[in-house]
Protein backbone atom coordinates (compact mmCIF):
# COMPACT_ATOMS: atom_id res chain seq x y z
CA UNK A 1 0.00 0.00 0.00
CA UNK A 2 1.21 3.51 -0.84
CA UNK A 3 2.30 5.71 2.06
CA UNK A 4 -0.16 8.46 3.04
CA UNK A 5 0.11 11.67 1.05
CA UNK A 6 1.57 14.78 2.59
CA UNK A 7 -0.77 17.76 2.80
CA UNK A 8 1.01 19.47 -0.09
CA UNK A 9 0.77 16.42 -2.33
CA UNK A 10 -2.87 15.86 -1.45
CA UNK A 11 -3.58 19.51 -2.24
CA UNK A 12 -1.69 19.30 -5.55
CA UNK A 13 -3.62 16.20 -6.52
CA UNK A 14 -6.97 17.79 -5.60
CA UNK A 15 -6.25 21.06 -7.42
CA UNK A 16 -5.05 19.31 -10.57
CA UNK A 17 -8.18 17.16 -10.51
CA UNK A 18 -10.39 20.23 -10.28
CA UNK A 19 -8.52 22.32 -12.86
CA UNK A 20 -8.77 19.54 -15.43
CA UNK A 21 -5.05 19.15 -16.10
CA UNK A 22 -4.86 15.64 -14.68
CA UNK A 23 -7.84 14.70 -16.86
CA UNK A 24 -5.87 16.00 -19.87
CA UNK A 25 -2.94 13.81 -18.82
CA UNK A 26 -5.14 10.74 -18.48
CA UNK A 27 -6.64 11.47 -21.89
CA UNK A 28 -3.18 11.77 -23.43
CA UNK A 29 -2.18 8.46 -21.83
CA UNK A 30 -5.31 6.82 -23.19
CA UNK A 31 -4.81 8.23 -26.71
CA UNK A 32 -1.17 7.16 -26.59
CA UNK A 33 -2.20 3.71 -25.29
CA UNK A 34 0.11 4.10 -22.33
CA UNK A 35 -0.70 2.26 -19.10
CA UNK A 36 -1.05 4.44 -16.00
CA UNK A 37 0.06 3.41 -12.51
CA UNK A 38 0.26 5.06 -9.13
CA UNK A 39 3.51 6.85 -8.37
CA UNK A 40 4.83 8.58 -5.27
CA UNK A 41 3.32 11.83 -4.02
CA UNK A 42 -0.07 11.22 -5.61
CA UNK A 43 1.47 11.31 -9.09
CA UNK A 44 0.41 8.98 -11.88
CA UNK A 45 3.12 7.40 -14.00
CA UNK A 46 2.47 6.64 -17.64
CA UNK A 47 5.50 4.91 -19.14
CA UNK A 48 5.93 3.88 -22.75
CA UNK A 49 4.99 7.09 -24.55
CA UNK A 50 6.16 6.63 -28.15
CA UNK A 51 4.54 9.45 -30.11
CA UNK A 52 7.18 11.62 -31.83
CA UNK A 53 5.92 14.73 -29.99
CA UNK A 54 6.83 16.19 -27.66
CA UNK A 55 10.44 15.23 -28.22
CA UNK A 56 11.23 15.29 -24.49
CA UNK A 57 11.97 12.04 -22.70
CA UNK A 58 9.24 12.91 -20.20
CA UNK A 59 6.49 15.48 -19.89
CA UNK A 60 3.79 16.23 -17.37
CA UNK A 61 0.11 17.07 -17.64
CA UNK A 62 -1.41 17.80 -14.23
CA UNK A 63 -0.51 14.88 -11.97
CA UNK A 64 0.26 12.57 -14.88
CA UNK A 65 3.87 12.08 -15.91
CA UNK A 66 4.20 10.57 -19.36
CA UNK A 67 7.59 9.23 -20.36
CA UNK A 68 9.41 7.19 -22.93
CA UNK A 69 10.60 3.65 -22.23
CA UNK A 70 14.24 4.70 -22.43
CA UNK A 71 13.89 6.67 -19.18
CA UNK A 72 11.63 4.22 -17.35
CA UNK A 73 14.48 3.34 -14.96
CA UNK A 74 14.35 6.90 -13.63
CA UNK A 75 10.69 6.47 -12.71
CA UNK A 76 11.08 2.97 -11.34
CA UNK A 77 13.65 4.38 -8.89
CA UNK A 78 10.91 6.15 -6.93
CA UNK A 79 11.18 9.45 -5.05
CA UNK A 80 15.00 9.37 -5.19
CA UNK A 81 14.91 9.95 -8.94
CA UNK A 82 16.05 13.40 -10.06
CA UNK A 83 13.90 13.24 -13.20
CA UNK A 84 10.87 12.29 -11.13
CA UNK A 85 11.52 15.26 -8.81
CA UNK A 86 11.80 17.53 -11.85
CA UNK A 87 8.50 16.36 -13.34
CA UNK A 88 6.83 16.51 -9.91
CA UNK A 89 7.75 20.20 -9.73
CA UNK A 90 6.06 20.72 -13.10
CA UNK A 91 3.00 19.02 -11.62
CA UNK A 92 3.05 21.57 -8.80
CA UNK A 93 3.32 24.35 -11.40
CA UNK A 94 0.06 23.04 -12.92
CA UNK A 95 -1.55 23.26 -9.50
CA UNK A 96 -0.64 26.95 -9.34
CA UNK A 97 -1.42 27.94 -12.93
CA UNK A 98 -3.98 25.36 -14.06
CA UNK A 99 -4.54 25.09 -17.82
CA UNK A 100 -2.72 28.43 -18.27
CA UNK A 101 0.50 26.53 -17.57
CA UNK A 102 0.83 25.23 -21.13
CA UNK A 103 0.63 28.53 -23.06
CA UNK A 104 2.84 30.20 -20.45
CA UNK A 105 5.29 27.33 -20.67
CA UNK A 106 5.48 27.56 -24.46
CA UNK A 107 5.97 31.33 -24.26
CA UNK A 108 8.79 30.80 -21.76
CA UNK A 109 10.31 28.14 -24.04
CA UNK A 110 10.22 30.57 -26.97
CA UNK A 111 11.87 33.26 -24.86
CA UNK A 112 14.54 30.78 -23.78
CA UNK A 113 15.18 29.75 -27.39
CA UNK A 114 15.76 33.38 -28.34
CA UNK A 115 17.91 34.16 -25.32
CA UNK A 116 19.90 30.96 -24.91
CA UNK A 117 19.45 29.04 -28.14
CA UNK A 118 17.45 26.22 -26.55
CA UNK A 119 13.96 25.97 -25.04
CA UNK A 120 15.06 25.15 -21.47
CA UNK A 121 18.12 27.09 -20.25
CA UNK A 122 16.30 30.40 -19.76
CA UNK A 123 12.80 28.94 -19.35
CA UNK A 124 11.55 30.00 -15.90
CA UNK A 125 9.46 26.84 -15.53
CA UNK A 126 12.43 24.58 -16.28
CA UNK A 127 14.71 26.60 -14.02
CA UNK A 128 12.20 26.33 -11.15
CA UNK A 129 11.78 22.60 -11.81
CA UNK A 130 15.57 22.17 -11.65
CA UNK A 131 17.51 22.17 -14.91
CA UNK A 132 20.03 19.55 -13.87
CA UNK A 133 17.33 17.29 -12.37
CA UNK A 134 15.61 17.44 -15.77
CA UNK A 135 18.81 16.53 -17.57
CA UNK A 136 19.27 20.01 -19.04
CA UNK A 137 22.47 21.94 -19.26
CA UNK A 138 22.64 24.73 -16.72
CA UNK A 139 24.09 27.33 -19.04
CA UNK A 140 22.97 30.79 -17.90
CA UNK A 141 23.35 32.64 -21.19
CA UNK A 142 24.98 32.42 -24.56
CA UNK A 143 28.63 33.38 -24.37
CA UNK A 144 28.05 35.87 -27.15
CA UNK A 145 24.57 37.23 -26.78
CA UNK A 146 24.71 40.63 -28.36
CA UNK A 147 22.71 40.64 -31.53
CA UNK A 148 24.75 43.32 -33.17
CA UNK A 149 28.12 41.65 -33.27
CA UNK A 150 30.02 44.82 -34.15
CA UNK A 151 28.86 46.53 -30.97
CA UNK A 152 29.56 43.61 -28.72
CA UNK A 153 32.16 44.45 -26.11
CA UNK A 154 33.24 40.80 -26.09
CA UNK A 155 33.83 40.69 -29.83
CA UNK A 156 36.76 38.53 -30.67
CA UNK A 157 37.01 37.04 -27.16
Residues lying near Zn ion in the complex (CB under 5 A) are found at 126, 129, 134
Residue 71 beta carbon to Zn ion: minimum distance, rounded to whole angstroms: 12
Residue nearer to Zn ion on the CB measure, 25 or 134:
134
Residue nearer to Zn ion on the CB measure, 41 or 134:
134
Is the Cβ–Cβ distance between 143 and 153 less than 8 Å? no
CA distance 73 to 152: 45
Residue 86 beta carbon to Zn ion: minimum distance, rounded to whole angstroms: 5
DSSP-based three-state secondary structure for 59:
strand
List of residues 6+ apart from 92 with CB closer than 8 A: 8, 12
Beta bridge partners of 64: 44, 61
Residue nearer to Zn ion on the CB measure, 19 or 91:
91
Residue nearer to Zn ion on the CB measure, 15 or 131:
131
Residue 144 beta carbon to Zn ion: minimum distance, rounded to whole angstroms: 26
The residue nearest Zn ion at its CB is: 134
Residue 127 beta carbon to Zn ion: minimum distance, rounded to whole angstroms: 10
C-alpha dist (Å) from residue 45 to 10, 20, 78: 16, 17, 11
Amino acid sequence: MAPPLSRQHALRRAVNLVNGTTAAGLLAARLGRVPVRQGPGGLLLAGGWNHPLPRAAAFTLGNVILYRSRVSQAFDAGPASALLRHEARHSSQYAVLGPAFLPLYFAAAGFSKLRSGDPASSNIFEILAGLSDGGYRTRTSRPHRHRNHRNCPNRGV
